Amino acid sequence: MRIASAIRPAMDREVPLAVDVLRRAGFGSQVARLLEYPRRSPNAAILVAEGRNGGVVGVACTAVFATSGWIGAVGVAPEARRGGLGTALTEAAVQWLRGRGARTVLLYATEAGRPVYERLGFVAEERAIAWRGVAGAAPPLDLQRLGDADRARLRTLDHGVTGERRDNVLDAINPLAGVFAPGGVNGMVGWAIASPWGAGTAIASTRPETGVALMAAATSGPSAGTLIVPDGNLAAGDALRAWRFVRLNDALRMRLGPAVAWNPDQQFGLFNLFWG
Ligand SMILES: CC(C)(COP(=O)(O)OP(=O)(O)OC[C@H]1O[C@@H](n2cnc3c(N)ncnc32)[C@H](O)[C@@H]1OP(=O)(O)O)[C@@H](O)C(=O)NCCC(=O)NCCS
């Protein structure tokens, strides 16, 4: 009870302290950039656990969509672990999301996080793997630059792929930086978008060969790029192995609440910690 009551949204001046905790929890040097979405969006939050001397000792971030929500960047300072803070932060994040309409709460778990989430009732769905490299040969593809006029089609395709209504985050990407493959009934069979706060390029496609071509476009070099893809996307995995990408790490998608109708075989690049 004492711990739970100390969990609250971060004040602006505490964001650097939250970043420091996440760095020490192993989230890497890019984590400050990742926190920009929950820091700025009214539909997302950075929750912090206060330590005894008023500093930040734990963090959990949230992002809500229509009836789904995501938890990401859950980290507790090494010296404050195994005292229930990770559990309390996750519970507070679930409450935050449920209070805003999320029936299903999703996250990507590390091995350290998995037992914490399982105890709270989360169930395993599927693994996502992060790969790094430069793409080799790919199917030829006619790509067009995304503009504001394409937003409705982009959302429709995203809904079909993720089973979620991610307008909150898609609309926050302004200007749109990305490309799409024309075709199909919707006029768009795939897209690739970079976001200011994303870990890798987000890529969705209803056709495997288009998805692979978009992956190639996103990691054409000369420096290596990162792509995070569901293990169940066999076309993506085959292409990444053929291009000799290096496997960096993996995480397990977990769910609390009813399943959403997502299509992992149509995801060729995941966004980041807060929205799959
Ligand atoms: C995962 C992480 C957030 C967990 O934080 P935490 O504060 O240690 O979490 P909790 O204390 O709630 O639970 C951790 C363990 O401590 C145990 N614990 C909780 N309260 C305890 C207490 N008072 N005394 C002893 N053990 C306790 C829990 O039962 C749990 O045990 P288990 O994992 O062996 O089953 C933390 O390890 C971390 O930051 N890891 C690195 C980053 C990471 O992997 N984040 C997850 C991303 S999905």
pLDDT digit string (tens) for 154-177? 999 999 999 999 999 999 999 998
Q: How far is the CA of 109 from the centre of ligand 1 (A)?
A: 12
pLDDT band at residue 2 under the 50/70/90 scheme: very low
Relative orientation angle of helices 208-218 and 234-242, to the nearest 10 degrees = 40
Which residue's C-alpha comes closest to atom 34 of ligand 1? 115
In percent, the amount of the chain with pLDDT more than 90 equals 87
Euclidean distance between CA atoms 102 and 96, whole angstroms: 9
Q: How far is the CA of 74 from the centre of ligand 1 (A)?
A: 10
Euclidean distance between CA atoms 176 and 207, whole angstroms: 22
* Ligand 1 neighbourhood includes 44 CB (under 6 angstroms): no
For residues 26 and 142, membership in a common domain is answered with no
Report the run of H or E that residue 36 belongs to, with start and end.
helix 36-40
The answer to whether the CB of 128 falls within 8 A of the CB of 253 is yes
For residues 193 and 145, membership in a common domain is answered with yes
Residue 263: give the domain boundaries.
Answer: 130-248+258-269
Does the residue 107 lie in any domain? no
Q: What is the pLDDT of residues 27-47, one digit of tens each?
A: 988 899 999 999 999 999 999
User: Which domain-ending residue is among 63, 84, 102?
Assistant: 102
Does the residue 123 lie in any domain? no
24 pLDDT more than 70: yes
For residues 161 and 243, membership in a common domain is answered with yes
For residues 7 and 134, membership in a common domain is answered with no
The answer to whether the CB of 83 falls within 8 A of the CB of 235 is no
Which residues partner with 205 through β-bridges?
A: 190
Three-state secondary-structure class, residue 89? helix
Tell me the two tokens of residue 256. Answer: 């609390």
Listing from the earlier edge strand, what are the strands of the sheet with 267-269?
A: 144-145, 177-181, 190-194, 202-205, 267-269
Does the residue 221 lie in any domain? yes
Position 208, amino acid: P
Does the residue 122 lie in any domain? no
Euclidean distance between CA atoms 86 and 75, whole angstroms: 7
139 pLDDT more than 90: no
Does the residue 57 lie in any domain? yes
Domain with residue 182: its CATH number is 3.40.630.90
For residues 97 and 134, membership in a common domain is answered with no
For the chain, how many helices (H) and strands (E)?
Answer: 10, 13
Q: Where are the alpha helices (DSSP H) in 65-195?
A: 85-98, 114-119, 151-162, 167-171
Does the residue 276 lie in any domain? no
48 pLDDT more than 80: yes
Three-state secondary-structure class, residue 244? coil
For residues 154 and 234, membership in a common domain is answered with yes
Euclidean distance between CA atoms 269 and 276, whole angstroms: 9
For residues 142 and 220, membership in a common domain is answered with yes
The answer to whether the CB of 71 falls within 8 A of the CB of 236 is no
* Ligand 1 neighbourhood includes 43 CB (under 6 angstroms): no
In ligand 1, the atom with minimum distance to the C-alpha of 251 is 48
Q: Comparing 64-73, 123-132, 136-145, 219-228, which segment has the lowest mean pLDDT?
A: 136-145
Does the residue 125 lie in any domain? no
Average pLDDT of the chain?
93
Q: Across residues 213-227, what is the average pLDDT?
A: 94
Report the run of H or E that residue 203 belongs to, with start and end.
strand 202-205
* Ligand 1 neighbourhood includes 84 CB (under 6 angstroms): yes
For residues 163 and 227, membership in a common domain is answered with yes
CA-based Rg of the chain, rounded to a whole angstrom?
Answer: 18
For residues 159 and 95, membership in a common domain is answered with no
Centre a 10 Å sphere on the Cβ of residue 245 and count the other Cβ atoms it contains.
25
For residues 27 and 153, membership in a common domain is answered with no
Give the count of domains, the chain.
2
For residues 84 and 151, membership in a common domain is answered with no
Domain with residue 75: its CATH number is 3.40.630.30
* Ligand 1 neighbourhood includes 90 CB (under 6 angstroms): no
Q: Across residues 57-81, what is the average pLDDT?
A: 96
For residues 67 and 166, membership in a common domain is answered with no
Does the residue 238 lie in any domain? yes
Q: How far is the CA of 79 from the centre of ligand 1 (A)?
A: 11
Mutational test site, ligand 1, from 81, 125, 255, max ligand atoms within 8 Å of CB: 81
